[in-house]
């Protein structure tokens, strides 16, 4: 399952004349959120103009590698049975083709829709089902009014119209709402978009992996958000509808949208379905202005280093990142089962105590401690029992006991439970030794968590155990940040794709698979931008594209100050670049900058240096940008299994692993040795100052797993 990058919402029209030149209502409006960025609504005066624009947007998004969902506000299918009467087949797409072959339209809007509707009515025995016309005395095969049409063989409304409480019917051609006419003038266009532009129609086609998907939507689902936007002074209703609906769809978590598109009743395969039906309140929330605002942009000087410093110590570089960056992702919602690895955007609050009621911790017998007789008790057993999920409704009288199982709510009249193994039963009686404590073997309500308690703070990266805690305390949905999108670009003329045939001068791109996998392992969304040659125009275009599709950009290669170091050259040109000369081994200069507001980490090309710089610098920065806060990696002090002396001036990271409780390091420090990266299970950190390490001396060791958030 992949999500969509862009969302286009189309408000269609059946008008027989061009709309006024000045943007006005009842024309065709297009609302677009492109790669996460909302665009101004587009106004089209005619269907011809609109169809050309939609086709352009489809081609443009596809060329940019963005997956596009296009929503249209008219039904994609008729009630069950209609298509068969007309084409002889239940396939709704055959009816699209049938209409495309018959409907004529023109630049002015003049069209033959009533003639075609009359021909469709002729395929039914009784009057209808299509009704309503502009001239009472024309098209005798079309009833002027609905009265007298029998909708038993064919229903007047589809299952989704009923579910969405839509007032309109596919068969009404005239008098608002003229949905029937909009369909007749819209389905031929869909048929062309499908055949000429390779778009897939949801839910009829195989749409799951298609780059462009056409879907039926309906602004009526977000009526309350539209009404409040209009109340706040927004001008044209249609423009507001398409804007808000595109916005709501773009803010839906991809998994939720996918579920809305997949969980459909059977009828949808013939009749189509209105996307989002049954999820009106979610869509209204997301459409509204009080939906999460975009976070503020990063400041141009966020990567500025103190002037006059030649080689920046690692800690100063980290402090600069920590001070200059903040979360750049919006809050969103996520279902608890899907939330592992997501980052809370607000504290999670328990809706219910755990346990919700006092319950038994063991299988045994319950009674009131106060009512125990002196000496070894023998108590009559009440009939019935208390089990988990099946409580005992009555009250256990004083001096009586009841059978109770683990997890069962403690019944009224009981405050203590004795373990089954410590008792004997017979003839309706229970016997045990004196001395049990009041409250034994019971769990108090809320002894783990009270209702209303803060379970987890904002910024928490959710673990599997957290999901258990959230679920147990009644949470089905949590507020999380949208996933940070991280684009990865490899640069260099010498690079080719792994697995391909290589000339002697060429090397395989090793950084990109490594960096993409690392980003995914951190629970972030990796956006693969491919390999770019050492060519300034190509790299500029790639950075533009990456900035529109991702929140952060990682490049590798070309980050120094040489002739072919185009990443640093372009970032300097953009005016927001800082060349960081960090006192670090391995790691040549790091180029940091903003490209169209997106932070760029220009990593060294060397794979060893690229990974070390990613773990040491990019990781905490990405955590901050993603909403998880600044997270120090967990360090362990372990005895060295090696000897080494180093000069002062720069911090060093050695590829290392623990064997027999001691840190051993890779035999070669050569920064081209990718085998050593793979051999290692972590890094040993040697201080900025001079150091002489003897075997057995404690050293700082970071397992790779420490570099997480």
Interacting residues with ligand AMP (CB under 6 A):
490, 492, 494-495, 507, 509-512, 556-560, 604-607
* Closest-approach residue to ligand AMP (CB): 605
Which CB, 169 or 490, lies closer to Mg ion?
Answer: 490
Give the helix/strand (H/E) hosting 186: helix 179-197
Give the integer Cα–Cα distance in Å for 35 and 7: 8
Q: How far, CA to CA in Å, does 579 sit from each of 307, 310, 463, 706?
A: 12, 11, 37, 27
Q: Cα torsion for 413, 415, 421, 422, to the nearest 10°?
A: -100
- Contact partner at residue 71 from ligand AMP, Mg ion, none, CB < 5 to 8 Å by partner kind: none
Instruction: For the CB of residue 567, give the shortest distance to ligand AMP in the complex, in Å.
Output: 8
Which CB, 475 or 515, lies closer to ligand AMP?
Answer: 515
Adjacency order of strands within the sheet including 552-556: 525-532, 485-491, 552-556, 598-603, 590-595, 577-580
Which CB, 653 or 702, lies closer to ligand AMP?
Answer: 653
Instruction: For the CB of residue 678, give the shortest distance to Mg ion in the complex, in Å.
Output: 22
CB 362 within 8 A of CB 420: yes
Which CB, 300 or 497, lies closer to ligand AMP?
Answer: 497
Beta pairing partners, 638: 699
Which CB, 539 or 559, lies closer to ligand AMP?
Answer: 559
Instruction: For the CB of residue 560, give the shortest distance to ligand AMP in the complex, in Å.
Output: 6
Which CB, 218 or 666, lies closer to ligand AMP?
Answer: 666
Instruction: For the CB of residue 534, give the shortest distance to Mg ion in the complex, in Å.
Output: 6
CB 34 within 8 A of CB 69: no
Instruction: For the CB of residue 523, give the shortest distance to ligand AMP in the complex, in Å.
Output: 23
Instruction: For the CB of residue 674, give the shortest distance to ligand AMP in the complex, in Å.
Output: 8
Instruction: For the CB of residue 458, give the shortest distance to Mg ion in the complex, in Å.
Output: 41
- Contact partner at residue 688 from Mg ion, ligand AMP, none, CB < 5 to 8 Å by partner kind: none
- Of 332-361, binders to Mg ion (CB under 5 A) are none
- Contact partner at residue 494 from Mg ion, ligand AMP, none, CB < 5 to 8 Å by partner kind: ligand AMP
Give the integer Cα–Cα distance in Å for 562 and 57: 40
Q: How far, CA to CA in Å, does 396 sit from each of 357, 365, 374, 383?
A: 17, 11, 19, 10
- Contact partner at residue 359 from Mg ion, ligand AMP, none, CB < 5 to 8 Å by partner kind: none
- Contact partner at residue 36 from Mg ion, ligand AMP, none, CB < 5 to 8 Å by partner kind: none
Instruction: For the CB of residue 291, give the shortest distance to ligand AMP in the complex, in Å.
Output: 39
Instruction: For the CB of residue 614, give the shortest distance to ligand AMP in the complex, in Å.
Output: 12
- Contact partner at residue 511 from Mg ion, ligand AMP, none, CB < 5 to 8 Å by partner kind: ligand AMP
Which CB, 6 or 556, lies closer to Mg ion?
Answer: 556
Which CB, 55 or 674, lies closer to ligand AMP?
Answer: 674
The binder of Mg ion chosen from 355, 492, 607, 633 (CB under 5 A): 492
**How many CB atoms neighbour CB 485 within 10 A?**
23
- Contact partner at residue 682 from ligand AMP, Mg ion, none, CB < 5 to 8 Å by partner kind: none
Tell which residue, 675, 635, 674, has the closest CA to residue 658. 635
Angle at 115 between CA 113 and CA 120, to 5 degrees: 90
- Contact partner at residue 320 from ligand AMP, Mg ion, none, CB < 5 to 8 Å by partner kind: none
Q: Cα torsion for 276, 278, 282, 288, to the nearest 10°?
A: 70
Sign, CA torsion 428/431/435/440 = negative
Could you tell me which stretch among 156-164, 310-318, 553-561, 659-667 binds Mg ion (CB under 5 A)?
Answer: 553-561
Tell which residue, 170, 205, 208, 168, has the closest CA to residue 186. 170
136-139, long-range: CB < 8 A, 24+ apart: 138/114, 139/114, 139/115
Which CB, 523 or 558, lies closer to Mg ion?
Answer: 558
Burial (CB < 10 A; 0-12, 13-18, 19+), residue 17, is exposed
CB 431 within 8 A of CB 424: yes
Which CB, 73 or 509, lies closer to ligand AMP?
Answer: 509
Which CB, 6 or 560, lies closer to ligand AMP?
Answer: 560
Could you tell me which stretch among 37-45, 330-338, 552-560, 660-668 binds Mg ion (CB under 5 A)?
Answer: 552-560
Which CB, 194 or 512, lies closer to Mg ion?
Answer: 512
Which CB, 276 or 586, lies closer to ligand AMP?
Answer: 586
Number of residues near Mg ion (by CB under 5 A) = 4
Could you tell me which stretch among 12-20, 129-137, 550-558, 659-667 binds Mg ion (CB under 5 A)?
Answer: 550-558
Instruction: For the CB of residue 322, give the shortest distance to ligand AMP in the complex, in Å.
Output: 26
Instruction: For the CB of residue 591, give the shortest distance to ligand AMP in the complex, in Å.
Output: 10
* Helix pair 223-231, 280-287: axis angle to 10 deg: 30
Beta pairing partners, 653: 685
Instruction: For the CB of residue 447, give the shortest distance to ligand AMP in the complex, in Å.
Output: 55
- Contact partner at residue 459 from ligand AMP, Mg ion, none, CB < 5 to 8 Å by partner kind: none
Instruction: For the CB of residue 562, give the shortest distance to Mg ion in the complex, in Å.
Output: 8
Instruction: For the CB of residue 492, give the shortest distance to Mg ion in the complex, in Å.
Output: 4
Sign, CA torsion 249/252/255/257 = negative
- Contact partner at residue 556 from ligand AMP, Mg ion, none, CB < 5 to 8 Å by partner kind: ligand AMP
Q: Is there binding between residue 411 and Mg ion (CB under 5 A)? A: no
Give the integer Cα–Cα distance in Å for 624 and 459: 9
Instruction: For the CB of residue 510, give the shortest distance to ligand AMP in the complex, in Å.
Output: 4
Give the integer Cα–Cα distance in Å for 418 and 637: 48
Give the integer Cα–Cα distance in Å for 8 and 209: 18
Give the integer Cα–Cα distance in Å for 519 and 241: 37
Give the integer Cα–Cα distance in Å for 98 and 103: 9
The binder of Mg ion chosen from 203, 220, 557, 586 (CB under 5 A): 557
Which CB, 318 or 514, lies closer to ligand AMP?
Answer: 514
**How many CB atoms neighbour CB 176 within 10 A?**
9
654-657, long-range: CB < 8 A, 24+ apart: 654/683, 654/684, 654/686, 655/608, 655/679, 655/680, 655/683, 656/680, 656/681, 656/682, 656/683, 656/684, 656/701, 657/681, 657/682
- Contact partner at residue 31 from Mg ion, ligand AMP, none, CB < 5 to 8 Å by partner kind: none
Which CB, 354 or 511, lies closer to ligand AMP?
Answer: 511
- Of 586-625, binders to Mg ion (CB under 5 A) are 605
Give the integer Cα–Cα distance in Å for 393 and 596: 66
Positions in the binding site for Mg ion (CB under 5 A): 492, 557-558, 605
């Amino acid at each position: 399952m992949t999500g969509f990058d862009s969302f286009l919402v189309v408000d269609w029209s059946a008008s027989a004349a061009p709309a006024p030149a000045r943007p006005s209502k009842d024309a065709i409006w297009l609302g677009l959120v492109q790669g996460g960025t909302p665009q101004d609504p587009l106004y089209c005066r005619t269907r011809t103009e609109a169809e050309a624009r939609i086709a352009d947007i489809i081609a443009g998004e596809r060329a940019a590698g963005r997956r596009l969902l296009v929503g249209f506000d008219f039904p994609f299918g008729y009630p069950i049975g209609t298509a068969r009467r007309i084409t002889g087949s239940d396939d709704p797409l055959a009816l699209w083709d049938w209409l495309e072959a018959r409907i004529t339209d023109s630049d002015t809007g003049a069209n033959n829709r009533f003639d075609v509707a009359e021909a469709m009515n002729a395929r039914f025995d009784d009057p209808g089902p299509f009704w309503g016309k502009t001239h009472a005395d024309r098209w005798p095969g079309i009833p002027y009014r609905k009265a007298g049409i029998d909708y038993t063989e064919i229903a007047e409304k589809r299952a989704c119209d009923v579910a969405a409480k839509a007032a309109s019917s596919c068969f009404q051609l005239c008098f608002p709402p003229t949905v029937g006419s909009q369909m007749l003038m819209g389905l031929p266009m869909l048929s062309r978009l499908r055949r000429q532009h390779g778009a897939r129609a949801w839910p009829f086609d195989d749409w799951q992996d298609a780059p462009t998907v056409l879907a039926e939507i309906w602004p009526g689902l977000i009526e309350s958000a539209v009404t409040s936007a209009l109340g706040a002074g927004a001008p044209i209703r249609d423009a507001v509808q398409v804007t808000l609906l595109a916005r709501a769809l773009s803010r839906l978590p991809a998994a939720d949208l996918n579920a809305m598109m997949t969980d459909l009743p059977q009828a949808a395969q013939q009749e189509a379905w209105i996307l989002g039906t049954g999820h009106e309140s979610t869509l209204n929330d997301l459409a509204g202005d009080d939906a999460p605002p975009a976070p503020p942009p990063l400041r141009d000087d966020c990567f500025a280093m103190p002037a006059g410093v030649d080689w920046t110590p690692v800690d100063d570089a980290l402090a600069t990142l920590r001070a200059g960056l903040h979360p750049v992702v919006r809050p969103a919602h996520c279902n608890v089962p899907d939330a592992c690895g997501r980052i809370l955007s607000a504290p999670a609050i328990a809706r219910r105590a755990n346990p919700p009621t006092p319950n038994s911790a063991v299988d045994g017998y319950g009674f009131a401690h106060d009512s125990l007789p002196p000496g070894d008790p023998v108590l009559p057993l009440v009939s019935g029992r208390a089990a988990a999920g099946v409580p005992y409704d009555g009250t256990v009288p004083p001096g009586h006991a009841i059978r109770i199982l683990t997890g069962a709510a403690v019944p009224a009249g009981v405050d203590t439970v004795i373990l089954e193994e410590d008792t004997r039963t017979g003839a309706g009686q229970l016997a045990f030794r004196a001395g049990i404590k009041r409250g034994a073997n019971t769990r108090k309500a809320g002894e783990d968590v009270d209702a209303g308690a803060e379970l987890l703070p904002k910024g928490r990266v959710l673990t599997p155990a957290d999901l258990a805690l959230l679920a147990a305390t009644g949470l089905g949905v949590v507020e999380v940040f949208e996933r940070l999108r991280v684009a990865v670009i490899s640069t260099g003329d010498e690079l080719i794709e792994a697995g391909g045939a290589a000339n002697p001068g060429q090397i395989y791109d090793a950084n990109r698979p490594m960096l993409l996998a690392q980003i995914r392992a951190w629970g972030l969304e990796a956006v693969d931008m491919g390999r770019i040659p050492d060519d300034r125009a190509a790299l500029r275009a790639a950075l533009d594209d990456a900035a529109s599709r991702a929140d952060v950009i990682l490049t590798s290669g070309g980050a120094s100050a040489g002739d072919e170091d185009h990443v640093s050259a372009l970032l300097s040109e953009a005016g927001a670049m800082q060349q960081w000369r960090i006192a670090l081994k391995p790691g040549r200069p790091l180029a940091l900058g903003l490209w169209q507001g997106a932070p760029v980490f220009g990593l060294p090309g060397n794979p060893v240096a690229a990974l070390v710089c990613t773990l040491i610098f990019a990781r905490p920065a990405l955590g901050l940008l993603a909403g998880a806060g600044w997270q120090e990696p967990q360090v362990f002090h372990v005895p060295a299994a090696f000897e080494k002396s180093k000069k002062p001036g720069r911090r060093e990271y050695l590829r290392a692993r623990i064997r027999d409780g001691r840190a051993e390091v890779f035999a070669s420090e050569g920064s081209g040795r990718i085998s050593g990266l793979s051999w290692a299970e972590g890094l040993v950190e040697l201080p900025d100052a001079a150091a002489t390490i003897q075997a057995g001396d404690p050293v700082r060791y970071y397992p790779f797993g420490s570099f997480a958030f």
